[in-house]
Chains A and B, each alone.
Chain A
Amino acid sequence: MIEILTEILNALLLLFLVVCAIAVAQIRDMLSAVIVFASFGLIMAIVWQQLSAPDVAMVEAALGTGVTTLLLIAAISKTRRTE
Chain B
Amino acid sequence: MVPFIQVYGIYIILHGHLSPGGGFSGGAIFGASLVLIALSFNLEVGARQISHATASVLESGGALGFIITGLVAVALGGNYLANQAAGFPMGEAGELFSAGAIFIITAFLGIKVASTIVTLFYNIIEGDDKSGDAH
Contact = CB atoms under 8 A, between A and B. Distances in A.
Contacts of A57: 20
B21 A67 contact: no
Given A55-B25, A58-B20, A71 B32 contact: no
A80 interface: no
A71 B118 CA distance: 10
Given A62-B29, A62-B32, A67-B35, A55 B121 contact: no
A58 B21 contact: yes
A67 B135 CA distance: 17
A55 to B, nearest CB: 5
Interface string B83-120: 00000000000000000000000000000000001001
Contact of B39 (A63, A70, A78): A70
B23 to A, nearest CB: 11
Contacts of B53: none
Contacts, number: 46
> Interface of chain B, helix or strand or loop or mixed?
helix
Interface string B45-78: 0000000000000000000000000000000000
A18 to B, nearest CB: 26
26 contacts: A54-B20, A55-B22, A55-B25, A57-B20, A58-B12, A58-B20, A58-B21, A58-B25, A59-B25, A59-B28, A62-B25, A62-B28, A66-B28, A66-B29, A67-B32, A67-B35, A67-B117, A70-B32, A70-B35, A70-B36, A73-B39, A74-B121, A74-B125, A75-B124, A77-B125, A78-B124
Interface of B: 12, 20-22, 24-25, 28-29, 31-32, 35-36, 39, 117, 120-121, 124-125, 127, 134-135
